[in-house]
Structure 1
């Protein structure tokens, strides 16, 4: 074939050579290259391009696919019930003897490691060899891929006893070689002794199977003789390993015989009674099935081993054989693997106490945030289990036992109570997600009661175990539930409410489905008996429904916000010195009477805040020295976290942004604040011409500016109130608070007032805030009469700016222009683009652009202000809560004042 392929290519090469000669090229070189290409394109080239390292996996995949098809056809008429019945017929003492045979098999496997270690002249204590052999073989047999599983275990264990990497690699390879010598030797001997047993499997004549067995045994004997004459080695690059000699080869066959015999015995002991092929014949089939399973590279030879056994043992009933094979998987593979995993874990913990402790601490810290959610889900599932259990019938055998020592009223009450507890657990689970202490206590109480009632209502130990396990989870995670909030005062999320409805609906549907053949009668409600499950379900369903309505009504009507009420007068008195000493004029917002306070431990700073819904909103940065701001941010966040709220800092400055970022907050720009540098403010010259003209125009209309000290405000308070009321009426506004002042006589009497008079009456006023270090001067509440003269507000601010400059202040704060200065770039945040759109298009709601234009007349510096919030999708709700708090603060303050 290669010649047939090469011939035309060689002709093409001659043509190419002639053309190359014409062009002055070396024709021989071209033809030589063409010939080489032709040879490379033949079968030899194709074979060289095949990646033979993957051939084993391909063969294994084909074997597994063939075994799967065979099993599918063989077991087409088999049902799981048949298998369950077959497993139930196996006696426990037979399983115990199979476990003993398994132990003998794994003990025999130690011989492979001993032979390998002896061959490389390495000394390792026998107990260490036994431990390593058991763990490595358990991992290899169950998981497959011995180089990665059992080899890794040997590498980990033997390096602790001084073996070098080359020696450990040699041990692994020698164990593989001796294993194959042993298992093939057993298979060959079996074919020689019982050649007819494989006829159902390979379809070959017994004499041919005998010949195959003789060839395998002969090959092993030839290897033994050749090894005795001349030792063999394997060389890989610079590394050389001697192959097992005659003694090691014979020893491996002996070890393989002991291992395979014990393993086959483990399955043989749990086979059903019936046609007996004889243990020797069964051993042959078992050995061949094991070889095919190992060749398949499938972990544990799953599927391949079973298909081989089923095909080779046609006389054994399929259901019984499948049940025995499943039990064999459990006894020979699953149990040793679980024990090996536990032993390896204990070994690592013992030898790496410090590392394990450090890793455990790291994993614990990483998993800690997930604990409340996991606990909530576990408690929710516990509630679902109790609800579903109450909807299904109890097992009659258990009820027969129960009625002998539990009176019927206890059974009925326990069933009803367990179902109601299941419902309450669905609600309590949400409190656990929110880390509430009350939810933690209630969950432990209810789960403990649910476990007891599960036993009393029908010996439902499964439900009791579930409840107990969840209680243990809650007990070990006690520190994660620390929030002192009212469980039923917190509104669950829509998703959680939906999950509760689905759980209740599923339990009711299941109950009606189970009892669909029971004809409804009114008398069923009052039908009590040990075996009367349908009436119990009806009563429990009614109880769950009533309890659900009661909880829903309580949550809707009960609004407990202990931290939302304003601070008491004595708290306000404690922060008065701090407000007076603060360089920030907005600290005076603490005196509105609508806020609560978080005091620094040393009493030298505070956070003022209000609560609206779940949002705990701090007004501005903490009022404190720069060095204490970070601690107060964390202190406020911890307080909010304990109560299950969302911490928010409203209108914070750029000065302390790192504190909020370090505390995990996200930032959203709210707008920009206008700061007028008073050193540059003037009414003189060309710069002050426009302001000077505005002032002169207002004064020509009869308006005048004046300052009224706080001590004299009482004489004009009635007039100020009249102006305030007219302003509110004309604007159609209601008083707002929290971030700005509102009318309150007590509040207004604290401050100097700037007033504009016209024809002997006050037509405009503003109360004045001063920073403690003469850095900041500003106003808070400003009101004017609708019928006042034109230019009165210009006159008011010109007079204030002149007054502030004359008092030696550095800056005049004109306040914030909301939504101004937000980015409009297409890659900006969604909030920024929405805010910028509202700034440009929202004049019908608020004069955004007009307000900024008015303040721009005084040539201010614009400084951004931000909202610091937890991030995620909470921003819309937080903005609504801030708006609600600003609108409701005056009512809260006045109600507190009245009380």
Structure 2
């Protein structure tokens, strides 16, 4: 047993009512003067308890110091686990009997409105707290105050209940101890050194005192005053009820320990009950929480015939059965009660904690799953506990044990692999992890009753299920390559598992026959087979990843899907909307269906081409819509060549911006070939015309007739430049694509030597060209003639602007405090002429006196920019092959 619920050391009264129970001894009887008045008796009690505990601890040390670990293991092996189960039942009976103390006290003070289930609930929690933690006023008393007050019991009556519970407990336990002394007066002789007759006299004296109290309280009920409140003391009915409750409680608690005690010579249960009752009383008097040390010392000294190792194991198990487990259950019950009482507050706090934890859940889950995998691997590499295998032998057939060992190690390996997918919030990684963790928990039990591993795997699986909404991305598990650090961690974990296994079985004589040794205690052979299975699975996963590379992009839209976009493209004022018709992109429609975002996928980068093609009031929403799509698929969202018109939308969506260059826009209202401003352009046109070149527009309806000539020019241009077709952000040769548009052509002697397909934006806002090709041996000045003719044609058609296209890397700041990207881009712009004529292209377009407008790359920020630029380059280079698979083959 343990110390009781409350302490009746002193009473404290204030004007606003008492806060703790008053002393059982009236204040008038206490000494008023002298040294005794100056002593703080509560602290003196603590000092006495500390002294008793120190003495008991010293005695226990002397008793147990000679015990070896092997003796403890042997004692543990002699425990009958069926008896332990019966001890749990006896514990339940003891705590059920304790309800009587609270029931008697509540009925005695008139608090009959509290229902019996609430009394039982409160009694169990308060006694479990007090028995384990001690300090009954602060533990069990606080529990009573919290629960009984919510059921209408006044604070003064709750204080009275605590005091009466303490008093009735003492009446009960003292009577039980006295009865035991009457029947077994010689049992305590080894403990107190008194003659049996004297022990008998002590028992009679205690029983006599109780009998006198019963008679006196029956003749004249007694009360005790606590501040301004009068508390009736127990009468004959309450006293007899307390004796009965104490008897039931003590017998059941003693039975719990009795059942765990080792078999051997003893003096019978009544003798043990007497020792147990006295040990309980001494433990309570010591004021040590749970009577730890004092209780054990009393039992050991009173029963010297029981070996010390057996006694130690039995007492530890009793502490676990009677104290620790009920305390854990009480904590859960009280926590559930408090949550139920504060549902709204707890719900609000839980939601707040959930929102705070959401950003770290994927990474925390990934680490937890990785650790779970390591635990399963390490478990497969280490020997099982022999006593657990002994239990398994009679329950689980050997084939299940062998298969569980193999399956557990494979599950651990796969958990290492898929844990990286949890960082990426992948739904399939979450589902597979939950399945493997649950399976791992089962395998851990089947292969060696590894309860600890099963609990860990179950907890991690439960957390993954609880936060399953955080794993929503539908990307392929192997579409994202893990980082080098993660691969290294997996290799280290696998290597450590193999090393641990060979270290654990260093003394095993490795022979070929070990592979075929199947037995419950054949740990080393199971390790070898598990290691082989793990290696085979690891090689298989690696081979699958190598043979199943992530798709560079989704399949482009079908021709039928493209045709549905034609009306939206025709209605757009942006000429680059026509890039959608190249056939190398996918599309995300707006919620209204009036706009779209065109994109391609390269590696992990989902790259949208330009701003969304949509009405102005829908662009912001489409930026978010595209980012959500990419997020669900575990990619990196990128917008390539966005304009300044919607930069706030990208910034609000969390993107960073990197300047790509500037685009040349010619104001056609200011463009002219007349006067001094147009003199240089007139001269360039005249020079080209003198060489036999001429400019004309071929309508789309007539392009089919000149298609072979156009293809010959295109092929010659590609051969001369040594280039392959590029796409995505610019056009490439595709007959279906070329047929859609009017073509501006340059002829020499009737032969086409240059051409460009024409894009026109809606509302006559923008006029531009896309695919431009020319014969390397064409006449001088033919490209000047082409652009001059296009500008004149656009102006004659009433367009406002002519878009000459972008000059890459131009206009980037060169300041020493500029971003690293700007400084690198500026350096390449100045020094990269051997790769691309950056400055020459800018100078050529400058002669048309354009307005320069910046274009940007919108990306998530951080260190991802180099990889994103590589992905953009790869997408541009590979787009024609995706759109024209037959030609590519």
User: Shared fold by TM > 0.5?
Assistant: yes
- The one of 822, 841, 844 equivalent to 2:827 is 841
Match of 2:491 in 1: 501
Question: How far apart are residue 750 of structure 1 and its match?
Answer: 3.2
- How far has the Cα of 1:132 moved from its partner? 2.9
- Counterpart Cα distance in 1 of 2:141 and 2:644: 59
Aligned to 2:321: 331
Q: Which moved more, 1:366-375 or 1:341-350?
A: 366-375
Residue 544 of structure 1: how far off its partner (Å):
2.8
* Alpha-carbon distance between aligned partners in 2 of 1:654 and 1:464, rounded to the nearest angstrom: 57
Q: Structure 1's 520 and 677: CA in aligned 2 closer, same or farther, altered over 3 A?
A: same
Choose from 748, 751, 759 the match for 1:769.
759
- Cα deviation 1:706-742 (Å, max 9, x = unaligned): 4523435567767766776676677665543212223
Indicate the residue corresponding to 1:865 in structure 2: 856
Tell me the distance in 2 between the aligned counterparts of 1:353 and 1:379.
Answer: 32
**Does the residue aligned with 2:508 lie in a helix, a strand or coil?**
coil
Report the counterpart of residue 649 of structure 1 in structure 2. Answer: 639
Q: 1:592 aligns to what?
A: 582
Aligned residue among 668, 671, 677 for 2:657: 668
C-alpha distance in 2 between matches for 1:769 and 1:666: 30
Aligned to 2:615: 625
Alpha-carbon spacing, 1:676–1:637, altered in 2? closer, same or farther (3 Å): closer
Following TM superposition, by how much is the alpha carbon of 1:645 offset from its aligned partner in structure 2, in angstroms?
3.4
Q: Which moved more, 1:835-844 or 1:781-790?
A: 781-790
| Worse-superposed segment, 276-285 or 588-597 | 276-285
Contact 2:102/2:119, CA 8 A, preserved across alignment: no
1:519 matched to 2:509: yes
SS of the equivalent of 2:597 reads strand
Closer, same or farther: CA 544–581 of 1 in aligned 2, 3 Å: same
User: What does residue 598 of structure 2 align with?
Assistant: 608
d(CA) in 2 for partners of 1:655 and 1:151?
Answer: 69
Per the alignment, in what secondary structure is the counterpart of residue 669 of structure 1? strand
2: distance between equivalents of 1:645 and 1:140? 56
Specify which of 653, 667, 685 is matched with residue 678 of structure 1: 667
Q: Which residue of 2 aligns with 1:698?
A: 684
Distance in 1 of aligned mates of 2:575 and 2:358: 42
How large is the RMSD of aligned CA atoms in angstroms?
6.1
Q: Secondary structure at the match of 1:622?
A: coil
Contact 2:430 2:464 in 1 (8 A): yes
Q: In the aligned structure 2, how far is the partner of 1:63 from the partner of 1:734? A: 92
Give the match's secondary structure for 2:510: coil
Moved more, 83-92 or 404-413: 404-413
Residue-by-residue CA offset, 1:509-558 (whole Å, 9 max, x unaligned): 23323433233334544566776554454344333323322321221122
C-alpha distance in 1 between matches for 2:292 and 2:884:
82
Q: Over residues 168-216 of structure 1, what are the superposed CA-to-partner deviations in whole Å (9 max), with x where a residue is unaligned?
A: 4x5666666667778999999999999xx99999xxxxxxxx9xxx9xx
- The answer as to whether partners of 1:390 and 1:537 remain within 8 angstroms in 2 is yes
**Partner of residue 570, structure 1:** 560
Q: Quick one: which of 880, 883, 890 aligns to 2:880?
A: 890
Partner of 2:29: none
- The whole-number CA distance in structure 1 between the counterparts of 2:808 and 2:142 is 65
Secondary structure, aligned partner of 1:138: helix
Q: Residue 553 of structure 1 corresponds to which residue in structure 2? A: 543
Shift of 1:114: 6.8
SS of the aligned residue for 2:321 comes to helix
- 3-state DSSP class of the match of 1:768? strand
Distance 1:334-1:707 versus aligned 2 partners, 3 A rule: farther
| CA distance in 2 between partners of 1:551 and 1:643 (Å) | 22
Contact 2:169 2:242 in 1 (8 A): no
Provide the rounded CA distance (Å) in 2 between the counterparts of 1:353 and 1:674. Answer: 60
Question: 8 Å contact 2:669–2:795 — kept in the other structure?
Answer: no
Q: 1:411 to 1:331 in 2, by over 3 A?
A: closer
1:750 aligned to 2:736? no
Q: What residue in structure 1 maps to residue 869 of structure 2?
A: 879
Structure 1 residue 585, shift from structure 2 partner: 1.6
Moved more, 92-101 or 601-610: 92-101
Alpha-carbon distance change, 849 to 158 in structure 1, aligned in 2, over 3 angstroms: farther
1:491 aligned residue:
481
- Looking at structure 1, the residues matched to 162 and 808 of structure 2 have their Cα atoms a distance apart, in angstroms, of 77
TM-score, normalised with respect to structure 2:
0.69
Q: Distance in 2 between matches of 1:403 and 1:190?
A: 45
For 2:838 and 2:744, the matched residues in 1 are separated by 25
Residue 198 of structure 2: aligned partner: none
Change (3 A) 1:275 1:398: closer
Shift of 1:331: 2.8
Is the Cα–Cα contact under 8 Å of residues 271 and 321 in structure 1 kept in the other structure?
A: yes
For each residue in 1:850-870, what CA deviation from the matched residue of structure 2 results, as whole angstroms up to 9, or x when unmatched? 76677677352635534144x
Separation of aligned partners in 2, 1:111 and 1:746? 93
Please give the TM-score of this superposition, normalised by the length of structure 1.
Answer: 0.68
Aligned position for 1:709: 698
8 Å CA contact 2:473–2:634 kept in 1: the answer is: yes
> 1 CA distance for matches of 2:256 and 2:397?
48
Q: Distance in 2 between matches of 1:644 and 1:515?
A: 44
Cα deviation digits, residues 858-887 of structure 1 (max 9, x gap): 352635534144x66544433322222122
Question: What is the CA–CA distance in structure 2 between the aligned matches of 1:449 and 1:702, rounded to whole Å?
Answer: 79
SS in 1 for 2:872: helix
Q: Distance in 1 between matches of 2:880 and 2:52?
A: 77
> Match of 1:842, SS?
helix
Question: Structure 1 859/475 Cα, relative in aligned 2: closer, same or farther at 3 Å?
Answer: closer
Gaps of 5+ in 2: 1-39, 193-201
In 2 relative to 1, CA 173–619 (structure 1 residues): closer, same or farther, beyond 3 Å? farther
**Contact kept? 1:606, 1:624, Cα under 8 Å:** yes
Find the counterpart in structure 2 of residue 135 from structure 1. 125
Contact 1:87-1:327 within 8 A present in 2 as well:
no
Distance 1:186 1:865, change over 3 A: same
Q: Conserved in 1, the CA contact under 8 Å of 2:108 and 2:238?
A: no
| Matched position secondary structure for 2:502 | helix
- String of CA shifts for 1:647-694, please: whole Å, max 9, x gaps: 4333344555666677x6533333465474737634599xx96x5354
Assess if the C-alpha contact under 8 Å between 2:810 and 2:826 holds in 1: no
For 2:654 and 2:669, how far apart are their aligned partners in 1? 37
Deviations 1:549-582 (A, max 9, x none): 2321221122253953333333323323322222
Q: Distance in 2 between matches of 1:515 and 1:70?
A: 41
